[in-house]
Each structure stands twice: as structure tokens, then as C-alpha cells.
Chains A and B, each alone.
Chain A
Amino acid sequence: MSGRRQPATFFTGPYAIHRPGTKVLAVEGLTVRYGGHTALEGITFEVHRGEQVAIVGPNGAGKSTLLKAIAGIIVPAEGEVKVYGDAPDRHVCIAYVPQRSAVDWRFPITVADVVMMGRLRKHGLLRRARREDHEKVREALARVGMEALAHRQIGELSGGQQQRMFIARALAQEASLMLMDEPLTGLDIPSQEQILRILEQLREQEVTLLLSTHNLEHAADRFDRVLLLRRRLIAFGRAEEVLRPDLLLEAYGGHVRVVPMAEDRLLTVADSCCGHGEEVAR
């Protein structure tokens, strides 16, 4: 082999090495189809190391699909995704944080068990966790403020705690690219703030973050760049370049109302199909 991968065996899998000078994430001409339905079409963009990007768009815009394609879980029909210059399914440095509804919360495992899953690739499939792994799990739980809940069964957690547990798993995984699918949806305001603060701390480690959200205000205030999606990429850039009435109208179609307000401020209210209201005050 070319030497840019560690020797792959069945149980360790292929590991791509992060080549210097390559972009963390480069998506080019990405098209994804489910059966006859085109979920994403011709998506092209690049993300820098340590950047935090919000993905917004109406329901069914393809936000989850985009994150899954970047994670290498679904195979694109056309185009390609490169993570540090290699196909995503050669990497174990990508953490995908699922929507909370994606797992069975009655499963008999504790918070620490779930976070330990992030260490599986570090200690190997056939080896037991070592002291270092337990240490990393404890650190990860401390960083999301959940040390005291380590031995709770996961069904006993609140929504915000469930989400923080998944973030801890991604931290234990020592991921350099974190993909989060609507982590704030359905949480109360204090829980949302708590998670946004944890994400803010990721900047120190230069973890690159892509997060889908319905909350345009969060997207505008808390993220470096915003990606506006509706099957195609409508716009990608800083919030003031992207969250413009004309572009929002294009993304949300008839479900958006643009109301001019005093002092050059603009109130945009969008209803997506499932009743989540989205608004931004600028």
C-alpha cells in the first residue's frame, strides 16, 4: 500500500492518516439519492480546521443526509466527500452524534458504558479497556458536567443529559470532526445554553463542528459560518451574508415572512412543516 495508511486488519480496520496541508472537510458535487428521490444535489463547500458551522434549512432539506454522507454512513450517488484528503469511511476521527430518538433509552447500559464506546477503536476490538481508557471516560464526563451521573442507567437521564452524554462519547473518541444532528431540538433553554457552552469549549481543542439546527438565532450568534440548505446549497458564509431575506425566502419558500422593523432590524419568521417555529431577530 501507499504508506499513508496504517496496516489494516479486519479487526482494526483501515485508518487514514491526516495528511498535512489538506482540508478538514471538502465536499464536492455531492449528490445523494434514496431510490428515485434526490435528497441532496451538487453540494460543494469546504470547512477549515476548528471552525464551527451551523446547518440550517426547512424540514426535509437534507440536513441529516448531509451529516450522514460526511460521516461516511451513506454512499453518495455522485461527487465526493474528503476528510483530511481521504474518503470519510477510512477515518475513525469522525464523531456523529445522532438525534436522541435514534437509540433505545431502555437499553441496560450506564452512562459510563456509552462513553466507553468512544474508546473501542483506541483499545481494540478484542482487548479490554485499560486504565487510560477509564481515565479518558472520566475526563470526558467531567467536561460535560456529568461525572456524578456516570453510573446511571441511560433511561434515567433528562433530554439535555442524554445529549451531553453523546458529546462526552465524542470527546472520549478524541474526534477531530464532530457532526451533530439537531442536538438542541426539544430541549429547554437552560439545557440548550449548557450544550452551547460545552461546544464553545471545543474551540480550544480545535475540534471542527458541523451542527444542524432549527434555531436561526443560535446559527447567527454562536457559529462561525452558516450553511443554508434546501436539497441544494443555497448559501454558505458568515451569518449576515447567509441569513438574508431573499436567501431565506428561497430556502423556506412560502413558509417564511419577512417583516421590516425599526432601526434596520429585520424579523424573519419561518414555519417549517412540523410546527417548529424558526425566527431570527437581527
Chain B
Amino acid sequence: MTILNWLLEPLHYAFMQRGFLAAVMVGIVCAVVGTYVVLRGMAFFGDALAHSILPGIAVGYLVNGGDRGALFWWSLGTAILAALGIGAVSRRTQVKEDTAIGIIFAGAFALGIALISTVRSYSVDLAHFLFGDVLGVSTGDLWLTGIFGGLILLTVLAFYEPFLVVSFDPIFARTIRLPVDFFDSLLLVLIAIAIVVSLQTVGVALMVAMLITPAATAYLLARRLPVMMGVAALLASLAGIIGLYLSYYFSVASGAAIVLVSTLFFGLAALFAPRRGLIAEWRRSRSQTGGR
């Protein structure tokens, strides 16, 4: 009874209900898209992309003030531009790809901070953009998250096989004449949109964790891609819910709490996963060397 009360109490508040809903939706969308981020080794790209949105947010913030709806569209525009821009830069550059991405994203991030710092309530607003505020999600935000998140999931589902082929074996994809560049760009755009719908929940700084941690945990547990996506979505939802309870009862920042729970899940999987866990690996190597 007391446990039930403990679980139900936060739900009496509308802002907590919205928070739970947002955390779960964002968790699922990021986890599914993040599956490709992990499999294609794009973690750094995801991190860079999230940070590169800041100048767009800043401009929107300076132009429209605190209007959340307007900020969403500013973020979305910047994110898609940045995704395709970084994609283009990494294809043709004189310096190494990760160096080029690093330069652009740090520069863009600095520009964002510089712009926001011209406003008086600078530190509060900056903290909000950097770390998110899932408990401040409005009903309008939820609708945007639901619609765009749904579009992302539908696209991933509709193009399941082409995305799989392009990610696993791009040369084969070219020989069966798939439009490889189109699907690569589409994936970048999907990642960009996933980041924008998640901004409110975890902010720019912790975004990469939403993309990669649940997916990487699922990678340790699953043998097939659909299972990996499902497990990642489930773990991300769980992390969102548990994180919010922790945030409510222990007054921990919500975004940080969600990411910490996710990280804990990964740690457990890294140790105990049946095939790819450290313990399984240790037992395999012992049974091989120890012999009879």
C-alpha cells in the first residue's frame, strides 16, 4: 500500500504526468533512431549535432523571447541544416572527418553561448537549454513530440530494409542500386528531428546519452535488429520513468537522473549479458584455457 502510494503520489500533479509522457515518448524515439547511431558508429556526430543546434535556439530566443512553440521550429530548422551541413563536410574535407566535425560543432556551440550571454537572465536560460526541463513540458510540447516522434518511427519502419542494407553493407546497397546517399541523408535528418523533440527533456549536453546508451545496452543483449530496437525502446522508457521518480523524491535534476539510470542499465548489461557480457566472456576464456 505504501509502495503504491509512493508510486502514485507524483501522478497527482499534471506537470509530472506530462513529464512521464514526454520522457517515455522521447526515450522510445531516441532509442530506435539511436540503434543506427550505435551500429554505424555515429555517436560523435550525434553529440556534435545536438550542440550545433544551440545558435539556432539562441536566435529564436532573441527574436521570439520565451515562446516555446517558436523555439521548437527554430531548433528544427537549425538541426536539419546542421545535420546535412555536417554530413556534407564529413564527405569532402582536407582534415580528418572527426576533426572537421569537432571544429564546426565547438564553433557553433560557442556562437550559441555568445548569443545567449547577451541576455540578462543568461545563466538560468542557458542551463535550461543545456540540461532540459522535463517537468516544464507543456501540452503543446507533448503534441509536437508525439507528432514528430511518430513520423520518425513510421519512417524507420517503412524503410526498415533499405536502412538495414545501407548500414550493414553500403557497397552491396550500391550494387542493387539503392539510393544510398538519399538514405544516408534521410537518417541524418531523422537523428536531427529526434534530437529536437528531446531537447526539452534532457537538453543539449546530455542528448547523446539518449541516443546511444539504451541502444548500446540493447546491442549487448540482442541478436537481431528488430529485437535490439525493441529492447532499446523498453530500456529507455524504463529509464525515463525511474529517472523521474528519483528526480521527484530526491530532488535530482530530471535529465541527469534519466541518463544516470540509463547508464546503470548499460553497466549491468556489460557485466551480465549472456553472450557479450564481461562475465560470460570471462567464463568462456576460463573454460577454454582451464580445460579439464
Residues of A within 8 A of B (CB): 10, 13-14, 68, 71-73, 89-92, 94-96, 98, 102-104, 107-110, 113-114, 117, 120-121, 125-126, 153, 169, 173
Contacts and interface: CB of A to CB of B under 8 A. Distances in A.
A120 B165 contact: yes
Given A110-B223, A125-B161, A73 B168 contact: no
Interface stretch (B103-111, B175-183, B201-209): B175-183
Given A98-B169, A120-B161, A125-B159, A73 B224 contact: no
B224 A173 contact: no
B277 interface: no
B102 interface: no
SS class, residues of chain B in contact with chain A: helix
A89 B169 CA distance: 17
B171 A98 contact: yes
Interface string B221-241: 011110110000000000000
Given A108-B227, A109-B224, A92 B176 contact: yes
Which among B174, B222, B227 has the greatest number of chain A C-beta atoms within 10 A? B174
A229 to B, nearest CB: 20
B172 A96 contact: yes
6 nearest A-B pairs in the assembled complex, by CB-CB distance: A13-B177, A96-B175, A153-B223, A73-B174, A121-B176, A108-B228
A108 B179 contact: no
Contacts of B174: 71-73
Given A108-B224, A108-B227, A110-B223, A117 B172 contact: yes
Contact of B177 (A68, A89, A102): A89
B164 interface: yes
B162 A120 contact: yes
Contacts of B162: 120, 125
**Which interface residue of A14, A68, A109 has the most chain B CB atoms within 10 A?**
A109
Contact of B169 (A10, A72, A90, A117): A117
B177 A92 contact: yes
A92 B175 CA distance: 7
B39 interface: yes
Given A108-B225, A117-B165, A126 B158 contact: yes
Nearest to A14: B177
A90 B176 CA distance: 9
B280 to A, nearest CB: 14
Contact of B175 (A10, A90, A94): A94
B171 A73 contact: yes
A96 B224 CA distance: 24
Contacts of B164: 109, 113, 117
Contacts of A95: 175
Nearest to A126: B158
Contact of B172 (A72, A98, A153): A98
A120 B169 CA distance: 13
10 contacts: A13-B177, A92-B176, A92-B177, A103-B168, A103-B169, A108-B223, A108-B227, A110-B223, A120-B162, A121-B176
A202 B165 CA distance: 25
B219 interface: yes
Contacts of A14: 177
A108 B177 CA distance: 24
Contacts of B225: 108-109, 113
A10 B168 CA distance: 21
A120 B176 CA distance: 8
Nearest to B169: A103
A10 B158 contact: no
A71 B161 CA distance: 21
A108 B221 CA distance: 10
A10 B179 contact: yes
B168 A107 contact: yes
Contacts of B178: 13, 120, 125
Nearest to A103: B169
Interface string B253-290: 00000000000000000000000000000000000000
A89 B228 CA distance: 34
A106 to B, nearest CB: 8
